[in-house]
Structure 1
Amino acid sequence: MRAAIATGEYHLGGETFINRHIEHLFGGNTVVVCGRFHGDNPYGKSYFVRRDGLSGKDILIAPWWLLRNRIRHGTSRLPFGEAKVALTKFVRDEGVEVILAEFGTQALALAPLANDLGIPIFTYFRGTDASKAIRTERMRAAYRKMMPRLAGVFSVSQFLLNNLKRHNITHPNSHVIPSGVDVRRFAPQDKVPLSFMAVGRFVEKKAPLITLRAFADATQGFPAAKLDFIGDGPLLEATRALAEEIGVTGKVRFHGAQPHDTVRDRLMSTQFFLQHSVTARDGNTEGLPTAIQEAMACGCITISTRHAGIPEAIDEGDTGFLVDEHDDVGFTAAVSTAIAVDDPAAMSQRARKVAEDRFDNHTLLKVLERRIQDTLADRD
């Protein structure tokens, strides 16, 4: 089966889950439809860039089409004019049999075209597209109009499906399939005692200041404790400044953004993983963070929050510890509790076992393929 993977940008190193679909879905029989392309095509795929700029003719007709699509479909994202003709030609020439839109917002743009061409289209909700994106009634209404056009819906967590359902955005063929992790590449090594890691953008949703302060407070009596921050973002300098202010620069290392292999190599020997995820003021949430799945596969004891799909991954007190969002005191206490675990090796092994059972992306890829194939078989 030949699939078109629709995504916002191709190729982004941090979107390992999407890149895996591009490389491996249906044995790699895929093409890419993207909003932006940065010149990196490591899988040698045929690709189509939807936002390469409007032709002169399309610029002239844009006001009419944007208004028409907004009224009819609830969104102006749809291709029109010569851009639509070019995309239609690409899809037909490539023999596309099914479309997987990797975000709900991508499905908005492509579902009507897929219906016109008689090509079944599925979408995958991953986080922002089922949280921040639906804060406005306009977007919620667009999603409601879109749902009947889809052959099925996937989500990385039940939390996101529930979030959509609260706004009457539902589909009868919906399934939770986490992004998963390559448990063969992410595997435990000997743990460095009192080693901590936090991975991700330095943004409000990750609450790096809470993470840093909790680590500092909980490890006051442990001079050997070390925290590695990997990532960059707008709150990086503020977090560095806080480390200076509270006197822990000797225990905290800021590595900036790093290649995925570097993250893996450090996670494998890390004992504790910290991620204080919160709902940002703009409504943005996680789905089910890939970093937590990777940390569990590496046998890290995870301290995180009861946020989005994270409780669907971590069994409290068994594979890690959870606190409420913005609970600074509770997060510090959870770090202290993790340090004092009687048998950290056993907890590490349980975390690894959960990752093998729930988050093996080889298994989850087969589940995704089977769900798509079963849906299409039922339509015949």
Structure 2
Amino acid sequence: MRAAIATSDYHVMGETFINRHIAHLFDGNTVVIAGRSNGEDPYHKPLFVRRRRLSAGDMARLPAVSVWNRARHGTSRLPFGSARRDLLAFLRSENVDVILAEFGTQALALAPLANAAGIPIFTYYRGTDASKALQSKRIQRAYRLMMPRLAGVVSVSQFLLDNLARAGVTHPNAHVIPSGVDVRRFRPGEKRPGSCLAVGRFVEKKAPLTTLQSFVDATRDMPDARLDFIGDGPLLEDAKALAERLDASDKVIFHGAQPHDAVRERLETTQFFLQHSVTAADGNTEGLPTAIQEAMAAGCITVSTRHAGIPEAIDEGETGFLVEERDAEGFTAAIRSAVTAPDTDAMATRARTVAEERFDNDRLLARLEDMIRETLTPGGV
């Protein structure tokens, strides 16, 4: 089976879940449809870039086409004119059997065209597309109109499917399949006692200032405790300033953005993974953070929040500790409980076991392939 992987930007190093589909879905028998390309093509796949300069004729037609598509489909993002003809020709010439649209917003642009071409299309909801995007009534309507056009829907967490359902967006062939992690590469190493790690963008959704403050408060009498931050973003300078004010520069290290291999190496020797995820003011949430799945595979004990799909990954008291969103005092207490727990070795072993059972991305990729095949087989799902 030959699959077209549709994404907004190609290639993005941090989108490991999409890159894995491009490289390995159906034994790598894939092509790529991208909104934009940065010029990097590490997988050497046939590539179609949707966003291109419009011809004079298409530019003249754009206002009328946009109004028509928004009325009929709830979105004006659909390709039309020469872009539509060229994409249809690409799908035919590449003998594409199925389209997997990464993120629901990508499916909005492609579902009508896929139907016109007679090619089944699936979409994969991952976070923002089933949280922040749903703040728009227009997107809710567009999703509802799109559902009958899809052969199936996948989400990284039940939380996101429930979000969609509350907006009246449901599909009879919906499945929860986390992105997963390569448990053969992410493995426990020799742990440094008292070591903590936080990975991610310095943005509101990750609440890095809460993580920093709670770590310092929880470990004031633990001079060997250390917190490493990996990532950058708009709140990075605020976090550095807070570390200075707390006189914690000797135990809190900011590494900035790092390659994925550097994250893996750090996780191997880290004992505790901290992530105080919250719902941002604009409604943006996690799906099920890949970083937490990677941390569990590396035998880290996670301290996080009851946010989005995180409770679907963490067994409280067995593989980690969870508190309510924005509960800074509770997060401090949870970090303290983690670093003073008498059975950290057992918790770390359990975290690794759960990652192998639930988040092995080889197994999850096989589940996705099986679901697609069963859906497209006469008499299947």
CA distance in 1, matches of 2:355, 2:84: 42
CA distance in 1, matches of 2:357, 2:377: 28
Where does residue 327 of structure 1 map in the other structure? 327
Where does residue 160 of structure 2 map in the other structure? 160
Q: CA deviation at 1:53?
A: 2.4
Which consecutive aligned stretches of 4+ in structure 1 deviate over 6 angstroms post-superposition? none
Where does residue 216 of structure 2 map in the other structure? 216
% identical aligned pairs:
68
Where does residue 36 of structure 1 map in the other structure? 36
CA distance in 2, matches of 1:278, 1:228: 20
Where does residue 17 of structure 1 map in the other structure? 17
Give secondary structure in 1 for the equivalent of 2:185.
coil
Contiguous gaps of at least 5 residues in structure 1: none
1:54 paired with 2:50, answer no
CA distance in 2, matches of 1:194, 1:322: 18
Alignment of 1:98-247 (within 5 A): 98-247=98-247
Where does residue 254 of structure 1 map in the other structure? 254
CA distance in 2, matches of 1:289, 1:54: 38
C-alpha RMSD of matched pairs (Å): 0.8
Q: CA deviation at 1:290?
A: 0.1
Where does residue 305 of structure 2 map in the other structure? 305
Where does residue 337 of structure 1 map in the other structure? 337
CA distance in 2, matches of 1:51, 1:275: 36
CA distance in 2, matches of 1:77, 1:311: 35
Q: CA deviation at 1:52?
A: 2.2
Q: CA deviation at 1:343?
A: 1.6
1:279 paired with 2:285, answer no
Contiguous gaps of at least 5 residues in structure 2: none
CA distance in 1, matches of 2:362, 2:268: 20
CA distance in 2, matches of 1:58, 1:214: 55
Aligned residue identity for 2:289: P
Query: CA-to-partner distance for each residue in 1:168-222, whole Å, 9 max, x for gaps?
Result: 1000000000000000000000100101000000000000000000000001001
Give secondary structure in 1 for the equivalent of 2:267.
helix
1:71 paired with 2:76, answer no
Aligned residue identity for 1:143: Y
Q: CA deviation at 1:56?
A: 2.2
Aligned residue identity for 2:352: R
Q: CA deviation at 1:379?
A: 6.0
CA distance in 2, matches of 1:370, 1:306: 31
Where does residue 348 of structure 1 map in the other structure? 348
Query: CA-to-partner distance for each residue in 1:301-357, whole Å, 9 max, x for gaps?
Result: 000000000000000000000000000000000000001111211110000000000
Q: CA deviation at 1:378?
A: 3.2
More displaced, 51-60 or 232-241? Answer: 51-60
Give secondary structure in 1 for the equivalent of 2:240.
helix
CA distance in 1, matches of 2:256, 2:87: 38
CA distance in 2, matches of 1:145, 1:251: 52
More displaced, 51-60 or 202-211? Answer: 51-60
Aligned residue identity for 1:358: R
Give secondary structure in 1 for the equivalent of 2:377.
helix
Aligned residue identity for 1:79: P
Aligned residue identity for 1:202: F
CA distance in 2, matches of 1:55, 1:181: 43
Query: CA-to-partner distance for each residue in 1:27-55, whole Å, 9 max, x for gaps?
Result: 00000001110011001001111112222
Q: What TM-score do you get using the length of structure 2 for normalisation?
A: 0.99
Aligned residue identity for 1:341: A
1:291 paired with 2:291, answer yes
Query: CA-to-partner distance for each residue in 1:195-251, whole Å, 9 max, x for gaps?
Result: 100000000000000000000000100111111100000000000010001110110
Aligned residue identity for 2:366: K
Give secondary structure in 2 for the equivalent of 1:357.
helix
Q: CA deviation at 1:158?
A: 0.2
Q: CA deviation at 1:167?
A: 1.1
CA distance in 1, matches of 2:358, 2:53: 42
More displaced, 177-186 or 130-139? Answer: 130-139
Give secondary structure in 1 for the equivalent of 2:36.
strand
Where does residue 2 of structure 2 map in the other structure? 2
Give secondary structure in 2 for the equivalent of 1:378.
coil
Give secondary structure in 2 for the equivalent of 1:329.
helix
CA distance in 2, matches of 1:112, 1:379: 24
Q: What TM-score do you get using the length of structure 1 for normalisation?
A: 0.99
Give secondary structure in 1 for the equivalent of 2:347.
helix
Q: CA deviation at 1:60?
A: 1.2
Where does residue 363 of structure 1 map in the other structure? 363
CA distance in 1, matches of 2:63, 2:167: 30
CA distance in 2, matches of 1:55, 1:216: 58
Where does residue 372 of structure 2 map in the other structure? 372
Give secondary structure in 2 for the equivalent of 1:286.
coil
